Structure 1
Amino acid sequence: GISCEMMLSCNRLFNGAHLRKSMPLLPTGYFAARFCESRPPNDSNDIHERPHPVRILVSQTHDPFFNLATEEWLFRSGDITRPTLFLWRNEPTVVIGRCQNPWKECNIAKLRENGVHLARRFSGGGTVYQDLGNTNFTFLTSLANHDKERNSQIIINALASLGLNAETSGRNDLMVGSYKVSGAAYKLSPPRALHHGTLLINVDMTALAGLLHPNKLKLQSKGIASVASRVKNLRELSPLATHDSVCAAIIDAFCSHYGAARIEPEVLEPSQLSSIELLEKVYREMRDDAWRFGMSPDFSHHLEGRFEAPSPWGSIDVHVQSTKGRVESVQIFSDSLHPDLIDLLSEGLRGVPYDPAGVDLALQRTAAAAAAGPA
């Protein structure tokens, strides 16, 4: 049998598509771009004689698809002769790695119910929950100049200025004491390199635990499972830790490392950004279900339960094989008194997108076919 909670979760899974919210093509908001230029040689005003400047951008919009698209746009077309820092944060979002399976990493139904976005980034690594209590940092350089230890040290130095003693742990984490406060991922594509990570400042830990805990179903996958870690908000470790103070500390540490002095921020208007063809193209791709779900690895999903009288279904045991985000095959075993309906449902699910909207549409079509009766 299956618990009432699991039955409700399965029901929400199939019907959550109705809760999808429409999103504008391009968000409102703007970027504040801060530029730090290296100190010029003595008695020289010729900018061409200065060492390479560094660039810092701070996003003021919280649309996760736009921020991730901007990061990718910077990676593909930014000036890699200048070390670049991009600081940003997202409204509630679960972000999965390029090769991960969303059905394994998070509870899709709960995301829909709570209005939480699902986004897939272009880099690898594990799944993270983000909200406005989470600050994201991105370092962009040439591949020849890429050094993840140096970048991690910049973040460590920034946290030290706030009274936090952080150190590296494992392949990509930062720890304060026994608690993980930051994770990172990397993308290397000659001649470019990207290193980005998260900092937990005041994240909703209840949401983090609930949304990243998948339904207790038998799920086997060829994807990469995220490793659960003990995490803690920086705000609990230092009252000085806020989004603004952490960003300021990172900017100071970044400029200090490269011997650069600050100048006034340059503000970019939304009208300028919307005219950037590559940015808009990547933004569309980030929002597309074909990217978010279709990039999922092949996997099998096993759901089982029992419907009590007066439901005619009885026990039901469903085995779904998904390939590239679509139902390749489905087997349904049941002691239902309506075997013809089981056959209709099996046939109706084949080939549909394996997401709440696709499954919901298949169920509606099956119900309509059953109501119409034999042809």
Structure 2
Amino acid sequence: MRRLSSAAVCGARCGNLPAGARPNSGPGFCRRLSTEAASNPANTAQVYLSRSHDPLVNLAVEHHLLRTMAPTSTVLLLYVNKPCVVIGRNQNPWLETNLAQLASKGIDLVRRRSGGGTVFHDLGNVNYSVICPTTAFDRDRHAQMVVRALADLNRRARVNERHDIVLDDGGPPLKVSGSAYKVTRLRALHHGTCLLRSPNLELISGLLRSPAGPFIKARGVESVRSKVANLDLDNADFENAVVDQFRAMYGGRCHVHETFGTKDALGIDGVVNAYRETSVEGWLYGQTPQFTLSSHPTKDDARPRPLLPFDKASFSFSFPLPFLSLFQQDLRLRFVARHGKLEQFEIEAKGQHLDGSAILGLALHEVSNWFEPLVQARLDSQLAIDLGAWLDGVLGKRLHQTS
């Protein structure tokens, strides 16, 4: 794998650009992401504009910059992803998302390295990332930078007590930007979203509402859901305003480089390694903290549960009459999963406890049809059909067809 040499780096100083000018408009603008430039302590403030829409590539670039930039430097990275859902480092995909809906719409699911909640990205959503010395880190500092950029574009916004950016337009505050963080010994990362002209606002709620939610008790971080809105701004206008504010914060000495797409980013070893680490299902599902799914109230989770089977008024799919056997037989299911694999599996049917040891260690994300594992657990075949179809709906990656 080649490395880009420092000789290939052709930086333009932000301070020499006219206000509002696109950073890639001037002669000699660099179209490469350089490890040497990022790690050079002389480059105290840098801006990178990614033109890749691959969320895994952009997160890999972000991670590479966090690892390699000079500890005394500050970096701004701006990027736009294709439609995807991004969960936090310690979140549960079965609890945070509707996996079947994501699969049916061809929307990628990605786990990032930072904490925080689940967010939806698309081409109408610009993401900003600031990496700075840990000693200078403050959760609101660069969110306020974005607020000032929005003010330059005649949008009245503020940072709230949760460090989100909300729009004040006379009604209840509407969230337009959320943030997440990763702090290391020498460097700190703050990245956030900004909804500009997303065409998918009506989809977000359904994509981020898990049908398994009423049945899962989880460790880890759960998202806080908020009403969201678009700012009705062009991506380029937002990028320019943020770059201008970043430049103003750091005295105009800002070397600008551009990641000119996926090919350039994947020309750097560190980016490739970070990409490979997060592109496998073992990272996406295998990093899930321990959780318990139970069909009925338990000592540890006394919440009332919806009756089995689910009714059509509550979910986007319905079940034929044979599913009534679930309720009539008083079937009870409880399992514990850790790192996405079954550690305990208990079924009680017709007053008998069945042995689920045969399927312990099963990776949940690898199950395309729950009928077979349930038969291995010695469940009656008709009940295995009924319960398996329900588990396929709440945990699986496919939708049931409505009748």
> For this structure pair, what is the TM-score category when the shorter chain's length is used for normalisation?
0.7 to 0.9
- Alignment CA distance shift 1:305-1:100 (3 Å): same
- Alignment CA distance shift 1:266-1:152 (3 Å): closer
1:305 aligns to what? 308
Paired residues of 1:318 and 1:332 also in contact (CA < 8 A): yes
Q: Partner letter of residue 278 of structure 2? A: M
1:164 aligns to what? 155
SS in structure 2 opposite 1:260?
Answer: coil
- Alignment CA distance shift 1:196-1:270 (3 Å): closer
Shift of 1:59: 1.1
2:37 aligns to what? none
1:101 aligns to what? 92
How many residue pairs end up in the alignment?
Answer: 318
1:288 aligns to what? 280
RMSD: 3.1
Q: Partner letter of residue 159 of structure 1? A: L
Distance (whole Å) between structure 2 residues aligned to residue 210 and residue 111 of structure 1: 10
Paired residues of 1:36 and 1:55 also in contact (CA < 8 A): no
Distance (whole Å) between structure 2 residues aligned to residue 133 and residue 325 of structure 1: 32
Q: Partner letter of residue 219 of structure 1? A: I
Aligned pairs for 1:212-361 within 5 A: 212-215=208-211, 217-235=214-232, 241-260=233-252, 266=258, 268=260, 272-303=264-295, 305-306=308-309, 314-315=326-327, 316-335=331-350, 346-355=356-365, 358-360=366-368
Q: Partner letter of residue 288 of structure 1? A: V
Which whole-Å deviations, capped at 9, do the CAs of 1:142-189 have from their partners, x for residues lacking one?
112323333122101100011011111013211111111111111110
Which whole-Å deviations, capped at 9, do the CAs of 1:7-55 have from their partners, x for residues lacking one?
xxxxxxxxxxxxxxxxxxxxxxxxx99753557xxxxxxxxxx985421
Paired residues of 2:43 and 2:255 also in contact (CA < 8 A): no
Paired residues of 1:327 and 1:353 also in contact (CA < 8 A): yes
SS in structure 2 opposite 1:199?
Answer: strand
Paired residues of 1:34 and 1:56 also in contact (CA < 8 A): no
- Alignment CA distance shift 1:51-1:63 (3 Å): closer
Shift of 1:266: 5.0
Which whole-Å deviations, capped at 9, do the CAs of 1:188-231 have from their partners, x for residues lacking one?
10111111111111221122111111115321112221111122
SS in structure 2 opposite 1:331?
Answer: strand
1:201 aligns to what? 196
Higher strand fraction: Structure 1 or Structure 2?
1
- Alignment CA distance shift 1:369-1:210 (3 Å): closer
Which whole-Å deviations, capped at 9, do the CAs of 1:273-303 have from their partners, x for residues lacking one?
3342221111111111111111111111134
* 1:67 pairs with 2:67: no
Gaps of 5+ in 1: 1-31, 40-49, 236-240, 371-375
* 1:36 pairs with 2:13: yes
SS in structure 1 opposite 2:132?
Answer: strand
* 1:90 pairs with 2:86: no
Shift of 1:332: 2.3
* 1:81 pairs with 2:77: no
Distance (whole Å) between structure 2 residues aligned to residue 190 and residue 264 of structure 1: 26
Paired residues of 2:340 and 2:363 also in contact (CA < 8 A): yes
Query: 148-157 or 267-276: which moved more?
Result: 267-276
Paired residues of 1:98 and 1:122 also in contact (CA < 8 A): yes
Shift of 1:233: 1.0
Distance (whole Å) between structure 1 residues aligned to residue 290 and residue 341 of structure 2: 9
Paired residues of 1:36 and 1:54 also in contact (CA < 8 A): no
Distance (whole Å) between structure 2 residues aligned to residue 85 and residue 33 of structure 1: 17
Structure-1-length-normalised TM-score? 0.75
Distance (whole Å) between structure 2 residues aligned to residue 212 and residue 270 of structure 1: 28
Shift of 1:60: 0.8
Shift of 1:366: 6.8
- Alignment CA distance shift 1:218-1:364 (3 Å): closer
> Runs of 4 or more off by more than 4 Å in structure 1?
32-35, 50-53, 261-272, 306-316, 361-370
Distance (whole Å) between structure 2 residues aligned to residue 302 and residue 103 of structure 1: 14
Paired residues of 2:46 and 2:257 also in contact (CA < 8 A): no
Paired residues of 2:49 and 2:257 also in contact (CA < 8 A): no
Q: Partner letter of residue 348 of structure 2? A: F
Query: 307-316 or 155-164: which moved more?
Result: 307-316
Distance (whole Å) between structure 2 residues aligned to residue 369 and residue 224 of structure 1: 31
- Alignment CA distance shift 1:242-1:209 (3 Å): same
- Alignment CA distance shift 1:150-1:366 (3 Å): closer
SS in structure 1 opposite 2:364?
Answer: coil
Which whole-Å deviations, capped at 9, do the CAs of 1:84-108 have from their partners, x for residues lacking one?
1000121111111111111111112
Query: Percent identical across equivalent pairs?
Result: 32
Distance (whole Å) between structure 2 residues aligned to residue 312 and residue 160 of structure 1: 57
Shift of 1:334: 3.3
